[in-house]
Structure 1
Amino acid sequence: MGRDAMGKSANRFASLRWRLMMPLLGLSLVMIVVIVYAGFSAGQQENAAAITQFTGLILAILAAGAVITTFIVLSWLIGRIKKITRVAEALAAGELTARTGMHPTDEVSRMGHALDQYADRVQNRQNELRASSRQGRREVEQLTAAMEALPDGIIVQDLDGTVQHINTAAKNLLDVPSGLRSAIDEKRELELTEFITQRLGHALPLLGVSDARWVTLNAGQPELARELNVSTTPMTSMSHHRIGTLVVLRDMSSEVERARVRDSLLNQMNAALENDSRPIVPLREAYKALREAVETNRPTTANDAHRPFSLDRFVLGLVNEWRQPAQSANLTLDLVNERPGLIVMGDERRLRYAIACLLDNAVKYTPPGGKVLLEIKGEEKGMARLRLRDNGTGIAADELPHVFTRFYRGTPTTTGGRVIRVPGAGQGLTLAKEIIEGHGGTITIRSQVGMGTAVYFTLPTTENS
């Protein structure tokens, strides 16, 4: 309370005290006057001394009554004031539920009631602030969860360029060290900001400028290289004041790789057309290879449709699909399952394409009357082991190391030395290897000219296998 309020409260207290004591004082004065008058009248009589003594006794009683009454009144007032003081001290200590519980019947109770009203307003305001704070925290948590769910990397910078938030995708794309993944103090925030600035370099434009640039990470390590598209957008408040910058990182490595494969294939086709000494790939096969390269050639990632599926059903469906082409080529296609019940985890559509490439080669390079056999051999260390073998023309030892090279085509020959001409663009084994290894599997080829070829490959299984 201010000095004016305290002064008014003191004046109210004084007026209340005198109003309570005035009747008592008036009564005392009346009694004194009566007794004095009686004593004066009795002084003329014989028992004047006795009356005087009685008068003194009455005065003593009145004085004692006045003192006792004053003490009671003051104790009552001081008790109420102490209660108000205790409530005020409790409120100052943060106990906002403390109240005097007084009703405004007099000056002191009005002061206590006013204090209760003030405490009510303070508590209501604090409740509003707490509710607003909880709502703000919920909104921040929802925004953070949404940013974490995004596949793109998100970085939020303040006006000075200091990183205020970075989602997991951005940390993974930039290979943020574990020690900086949870920047909780100013020093670590500055270290994280410096690390990101070094990683992105010129790709971070001026703060507050909308822009999009490209950056290559780990350029000296092809197996770890990433092509990132870095986009920046100014962030503004509801009052249209700039409050920071939003940086979006998008991994474009797959798109860049597909474009590279497409360009390489087109260059290979162009070279074939310009070089008369090389067999020209038929236009239909070239178009098919180009479409496969664009649509299928990309590393398998966690974003692909990886689901558990039955390996028995999967390989049986493949064999049934290829049985008619094999019969048309006068070949026998069989399935042997030595380990039924395996469950494989992966993108069934892409794995079907990969194994179809292997079956296609087996059918094309096996002469009429030959056999093709797809086998499920078993499971080892969480991997299903499969083998596809044929008794076809086989692959020469000097060509075997190159069979997985993109666009490489060997020169298979019959036992009589005649070169076998089959359609294709040298894409099948390359794509099959990339898809299988992208799923965490392995693939190897063993072959002998005139004896046939065996392809060994593995696929990841689930715990339910």
Structure 2
Amino acid sequence: MVKRYDPARELPRYQRLRWRLFASYLALILLTAGPPVVTFLLLERTVDEAVLTELRKVADVASHALEPHLGDMERLAHEVQRLREEADLRLTLVTADGRVRVDSHVEGPVDAVENHGTRPEVMQAMQSGRGDAIRWSATVQEPFAYSARRVELEGEEAVLRVALPYARLASRLEGLRASLFVALGLALLLGGLLSLLLSRRLTAPIAGLRLVAAELARGNYAVQVPEVPMGELRSLAESFEELKVQFRDKLQQVEEDKMLLITILGAMSEGVVVVDAASRVLLANPRALSLLGVEAVWSRDDVEGRLLLEMTRNPGINELVERTIRTGAPEQAEVSVSRGVVRQLAASCAPLQEQGMNRGAVLALYDLTQLRQLERVRQDFVANVSHELRTPIAAISGWAETLTAEDMDLPPFVARNLGRIHAHAGRLATLVEDLLALARVEAIGVEDVKQDVRLRRLVSEVLSALRESVEEKGHRVTVAVEDSAEVIRSDARAIEYMVRNLLENAVKYTPAGGRIEVRAALEEDGTYVMEVEDDGMGIESRHLPRIFERFYRIDKGRSRDVGGTGLGLSIVKHYATALGGTVEVRSELGQGSTFTVRLPESSPVRGESDQPS
């Protein structure tokens, strides 16, 4: 999990801007002090090289001056002492085995002087003919600059070494070095103090602004922005002040909007619940708590942050919301809630999307309890009334038919009225049957027991019952049922009613000489499709959305003439829905109509094909 930055927390010392600036200034000072030190070191080296160069020249002169006396040791010792006194030189003659034969700075016998064969300048002269060195002399206990040259002494190789005292020059260089380092130390100290003061002066306003940012992060918008004397930081401080004002105004606006939203949600008659992508409740209005039966347990603030399932204890609602979050598509369902009072709720869920990502969902709940109770009362009333009307209507129809059929001498107007009574009684009987069928399908749906329904045979039977009307109008009826769709395993009563009603409508509303076609096929996904098409008068587009409503008639006068009840298509839709399918219509005025019934995964069974009708 990513850690959020807390501007109020104390930073480690090495991360503070003040110490970083101080370290930067100090490093700059050290870099500035580097060139003088390097220059001094180069100067020391240059002085040493100059001393050695002059000493080589002196060594050459001394060698030429002493060369005539190398065979006479007494004379040689005398000349060596003379050169010492005149030129303040130290002269030493060393044999190849390192023995000292003459040394101008040794009084008395030189046999006691330690062997010089290991002296670096002597070793170098013996090897290459010349050697130089600046070092501490163990013999006279002071620093010297040496230059040695190889010579011949009594027929053997020897080394003549010339030395100059280096103490005075070394002392001056040491003093110069000490002065340089003291000056550099003072400069570093003074620069460090100035760097510390400057870094503190630069970072003090920034530290103040940092504290202001920490207070703003805590929600303290009354904090005062400190005065800053410098240009860029003054602009930054002014920006902080403006940002503080904007934050305060925005927060106030958000609070006002939140209160307005809470007020609106509190006044809504629908329940609203907002959840995040993890199905945790972000917001729930009081009506939602009431509909879910949890207002006595939790308040609006209590449910925020809880899982939706924990709040609702309803798997149906939870599954609906999770499916919406997962697919990003709106979902609807009717659910039953039994916490406290049993309620029927219509749940509608829509996704909350941001930049194409599902951030959660909004759940709207509508109370359908009273509506469903009224529907049940209406259904019971219609069923009861229909049952009660069945017997008297049958009696009226029977007596009217009996009186009309008997060979009785009735006045003409009585015979005509008896015929009307019989016709209207038949229409009432049809209406009652339709009402009972609608009440039955609304109450119990379809039968759980499925049967093999042979569609071609069923269509033939229905057409046989309608033969008189078909022949009277001269309709051309075509049946095209694919072998794969010949047998459908479903509720026989529902299939029979849908086929009969759609064919009756096609016969009734298709003019004489018209064409009617019945088609059935099985699609690749297992959906069973049945279509009834005619080239009749068609339906205006404004009527199509309401064509399946009960008692809805396009032309009430014509529907009355052809004997329609206004319930047939509504029953067809209820049956299709109960079977898990759909029914739809395509129609244009004057071009005929096509009714399509789709039953998903109807499990059709192949059977022996009947002869086409």
**Which category of TM-score, normalised to the shorter sequence, fits these structures?**
0.3 to 0.5
| Greater Rg by CA | 2
TM-score by length of 2: 0.31
TM-score by length of 1: 0.40
Q: Which has the higher contact order (CA 8 A, sep 6+)?
A: 1
